Amino acid sequence: MLTLLNLNVAGYIDPSVMTYAIQAIAGVIIAVGAFLGIYLRKAKKKLNNKLGIDENRNKEVETDDIVINESK
């Protein structure tokens, strides 16, 4: 049975195929990272709402007042 699976294979991988494979792997990693970032943020927001935690309670809010001093 093992003699049926024993194959001698020789092949050539073109450099352009390797760059395509690297791009595909990088694309998958970036897509998974974006997916996790978006949905983990949504899950955190829902959990904070259920627990009554305000994530903006310690943040400073700037006013929208614009002051122009004209001096001669």
Torsion on CA atoms 34, 39, 44, 49, rounded to nearest 10 = 140
Domain ranges across the chain? 15-51
pTM of the model: 0.52
Q: Is 52 left (phi over 0), alpha (psi -120 to 50) or beta?
A: left
pLDDT of residue 2: 56
* Closest among 48, 28, 30, 29 to 40, alpha carbons compared: 48
The span from the CA of 27 to the CA of 4, in Å, is 38
- State the average pLDDT over residues 21-36: 96
